[in-house]
Amino acid sequence: MKIIGTGRANPAKIVTNAMLEEFLDTSDEWIRERTGMTERHVISSEKLEDLATEAALKAIENAGVTPADIDYIICSNVVNEYITPGLSCIIQGAIGAKCACVDVNAACSGFIYALDMADDRIKSGKAKTILVVAAEEPTRMVDWKDRSICVLFGDGAGAAVVTEGDALIGSRLTTVSKTECLHYVRTLEPTPYITKEEEAKPMYMNGREVFKTAVLSSSRDIRTLLDEAGLQPADIKYYILHQANMRIIEAICGQLKLDMSHFPTNVAHYGNTSSASVAILLDELNRDGKLQKGDKLVLSAFGAGFTTGACIIEWTK
């Protein structure tokens, strides 16, 4: 496959660190030093499906195709107001496409899992042009009284249109079941037969454990992919990493012995938007004219599961 268009959409409400200081025992200094974040876009009146649709339509326009050309939609999503149908179905109706659709939940790694699935489907000849959307509202999963977690997240959607091509140089997906490290549990409807105890709980995250695992797994994925492709770290123009925390990005940069010019970031302005983060950053680079034909890019993400996804792509647009 090759990427031929990108798009993004974020909620209008911007929540600064100073705004968080108003109701949490926190400080702008603590948040900036520990995470690199200064503000984040947070859903207020918007619906996630509308942001996802806006990102999708922008990607389709950027690709120079029409919704009628899309013959499969994959949407990466962890939560939204609909349990069913999947967000991909809602996007399909909203953009006026007619193709089959599926949602995938691989937590923050979901956009890269979805790109990999799109490549497989194109290779199998079952689809030619695929819309991949990552839409997330992690601010709805956290306890807004808990300063250790709610300051970290933002909401948004990113999208890419992919079609036949050979720009995916390599990809690597891993999953290690480690649910105790990061999870979010909600209750379902009661029935007359339920005897087990159920309790809805906001997202739990062991921040230090996630930090260590993220740095080690992302560096390992990237090194493996570079070795397999016979590339050196400096051959990659940009490492487009999951924007979870500036210190994680800096640590991965250090592991690869590169300078930060290879690591574009937007975590300062968006916070952690889960699987949407890589898609949003890719769109920013594309629309800012930072990507040239022939550039090699690494995408790499990690998240609950514990899942990781990484790929090397050549920019062909």
In this chain, which of 211, 216, 229, 262 binds ligand ACO, going by CB under 6 A?
Answer: 211
Return the residues of window 46-105 that contact ligand ACO according to CB under 6 A: none
Query: How many alpha carbons lie under 13 Å from residue 127 in its C-beta half-sphere?
Result: 25
- The reply to whether 158 sits near ligand ACO by the rule CB under 6 A is no
- The reply to whether 204 sits near ligand ACO by the rule CB under 6 A is no
- Out of 77, 242, 245, 253, the active site residue is 242
Cα dihedral across residues 207, 209, 215, 217: positive or negative: negative
In this chain, which of 214, 215, 276, 298 binds ligand ACO, going by CB under 6 A?
Answer: 214
DSSP string, 15-42: EEHHHHHTTSS--HHHHHHHH--SEEE-
- The reply to whether 108 sits near ligand ACO by the rule CB under 6 A is yes
In this chain, which of 13, 16, 21, 26 binds ligand ACO, going by CB under 6 A?
Answer: 26
Category of 216 on φ-ψ map: left (φ > 0), alpha (ψ -120 to 50) or beta: alpha
- The reply to whether 244 sits near ligand ACO by the rule CB under 6 A is yes
- Out of 10, 80, 272, 286, the active site residue is 272
- The reply to whether 144 sits near ligand ACO by the rule CB under 6 A is no
In this chain, which of 13, 21, 32, 34 binds ligand ACO, going by CB under 6 A?
Answer: 34
- The reply to whether 147 sits near ligand ACO by the rule CB under 6 A is yes
The 10 Å CB-count burial string (b at 16+, else e) for 86-95 is: bbbbbbbebb
Of residues 111, 117, 135, the one with CA closest to residue 8: 135
Residues in the chain: 317
User: In angstroms, rounded to a whole number, what is the distance separating the alpha carbons of residues 94 and 101?
Assistant: 13
- The reply to whether 174 sits near ligand ACO by the rule CB under 6 A is no
Active site residue 41: no
| In the block, residue with structure tokens 């991909």 | 88
Query: How many alpha carbons lie under 13 Å from residue 216 in its C-beta half-sphere?
Result: 7
- The reply to whether 148 sits near ligand ACO by the rule CB under 6 A is yes
User: In angstroms, rounded to a whole number, what is the distance separating the alpha carbons of residues 170 and 297?
Assistant: 11
- The reply to whether 303 sits near ligand ACO by the rule CB under 6 A is yes
- The reply to whether 219 sits near ligand ACO by the rule CB under 6 A is no
Using CB under 6 A, which of the segments 24-32, 119-127, 219-227, 256-264 binds ligand ACO?
Answer: 24-32
- In angstroms, give the least distance from the CB of 108 to ligand ACO: 4
- Rg of the chain taking only CA atoms, in angstroms: 19
- Token pair listed for 291: 């990507």
Q: Indicate which residues carry an active-site annotation.
A: 108, 242, 272
Positions touching ligand ACO (CB under 6 A) are 26, 30-31, 34-35, 108, 147-148, 151, 182, 205, 207-208, 210-211, 214, 244-245, 248, 272, 274, 303-304
